[in-house]
Amino acid sequence: MKAVGLTQYLPIDDPAALLDLNLAQPGPPTGSDLLVRVQAVSVNPVDTKQRAPRAQQEDPPRILGYDAAGIVEAVGPDVTAFAPGDEVYYAGDVTRPGCNAQWQWVDERLVGRKPATLDFADAAALPLTVLTAWELLFQRMPLQFDDRRHAGQVMLIIGGAGGVGSIAIQLARHAGFTVVATASRPASADWCRQMGAAHVIDHRQPLPPQLQALGIEQVQVALNLADTDHYWEVLGELLAPQGHVGLVVEPRGALRIGDPYKAKCIGIHWEFMFARAKFRTDDRIEQHRILSRVASLVDAGELRSTRSAQLGAINAANLRQAHRQLESGSVIGKLVLAGWE
C-alpha cells in the first residue's frame, strides 16, 4: 500500500523529512479494531511535534497522521458498532501507526460515523480538534452543550482561527457563550467571525484594554489554545471569580497556580486528546460517542467543517507542504489532503 512516513527526524525543508513509501497492507483486524481504507487526512501540530528533528532512526518507517476519514474494510471479532462499507472519521491513537497510509487499524471505540452531509475531505478536518474542544469544554470543564445556562457569559478563546479554536468557537457559541476570539491578522479575524465569534481582539496587543473597549471587564471562561506560559498572568487577571481556564499546550516553564488563581477559585482544566487512547482508559468509547454526536450536529446544520484548504493528494510532497505551513504558526482552520494518486 501507499504510505507517507519517516525514517529520520529532519527539518521539514529536507526532502527526506517525509517519504513516499510502499508498505505491506495491514492484515485482518483483531479484537475491537477496524481496518479502514483512508480517503482523506488532516494535519495537526501533533504531527510536527512528533516529527521534530532529533537523532533517532525508525526501522520500519514511522507513519504519522491523526485525523482521517475513510471506509471500513473489515472488522475485528469484537467489533459491535461498525460493519464493512461504513463511512467513518476518527483521530485514533498517537501510540499506534497513523493515518498517512492507504489502510489503517483503529479501535472502534475511537471512531465515529462520518457526517453524511460532508465529503471525506471536509470530514477529515474535524475529529482531532472537535474531540479536543468537546472534551475540554464539556467533560473536563463543568459546562453544558445543550442548555442555555451560559447565556450572557463570556468565553475568551486565545488562538481562535487555529484548528482547535475554529471548532471551539462553534461549540461555545452553541452552548450560549458570547465568544471573544483572538486573531492577529485580518484574514484570521474574519475566519473567527465566520466560525461564530461575536468579537475578535488581537493577541499581539494587550488584551485587557481591548476587552474593556468592548465593555467586558472579566470573562467567565478562557481557553488558551496557543501559549500556556505567555497568557497565564493576563488570564489570571481577566478571569472572573469561580471562572475556568482550559489548557492544551505543554508549558515551557513552571506555572504559578496561586493568587490570583487561588483567591478567585479558578478551575484549571487540562485537555490531552490522546489521554484516553494512550492510557487505555475504560471510558475511551466516549470518543466514539462524541464523534457520532458531532456527526449528527453537522448533519443538522448546527456545526460546520473547519476545512480551509485542500492541498491535493496524500503524498510526501503535499504533507511536507502542510507541515511547513503548520510550523509557521499561521494556519487558518484545517488543511486537508485527499485521495491517493
Ligand X SMILES: NC(=O)c1ccc[n+]([C@@H]2O[C@H](COP(=O)([O-])OP(=O)(O)OC[C@H]3O[C@@H](n4cnc5c(N)ncnc54)[C@H](OP(=O)(O)O)[C@@H]3O)[C@@H](O)[C@H]2O)c1
Instruction: Give contact residues for ligand X (rule: CB under 6 A).
Output: 44-46, 129, 132, 158-159, 161-165, 182-185, 188, 203, 225-227, 248-249, 271-273, 326, 329-332
Q: Which three cell numbers stand for residue 299?
A: 448533519
Q: Please say which residue, 70 or 160, places its beta carbon nearer to ligand X.
A: 160
Compute the least distance from the CB of residue 93 to ligand X, in Å: 13
Q: Smallest distance from the beta carbon of 182 to ligand X, in angstroms?
A: 6
Q: How far is the CB of 43 from ligand X (least distance, A)?
A: 9
Residue whose CB is less far from ligand X, 182 or 220: 182
Q: Which lies closer to ligand X via its Cβ, residue 79 or residue 223?
A: 223
Name the grid cell of 180: 471573544
Question: Given the complex with ligand X, which of 108 and 271 has the nearer CB atom?
Answer: 271
Give me the residue whose beta carbon is nearest to ligand X. 162
* Dihedral class, residue 45 (left if φ above 0, else alpha if ψ from -120 to 50, else beta): alpha
Shortest spacing between CB 26 and ligand X, in angstroms: 26
Using CA atoms, how far apart are residues 157 and 138, in angstroms rounded to an integer? 15
In terms of CB distance, is 164 or 314 closer to ligand X? 164
Quote the least distance from Cβ 11 to ligand X, whole Å.
18
Tell me the CB-side half-sphere exposure of residue 308, using CA atoms within 13 A: 22
Please say which residue, 111 or 273, places its beta carbon nearer to ligand X: 273
Q: Which three cell numbers stand for residue 35?
A: 481496518
**Nearest Cα to Cα of residue 155 among 218, 206, 101:** 218
**From the centroid of its chain, how far is CA 49?**
14
Measured CA to CA, the distance from residue 136 to residue 143 in angstroms comes to 9
In contact, 127 and 89? CB cutoff 8 Å = yes
Alpha-carbon distance 74 to 85, whole Å?
8
Smallest distance from ligand X to CB 41, Å:
14
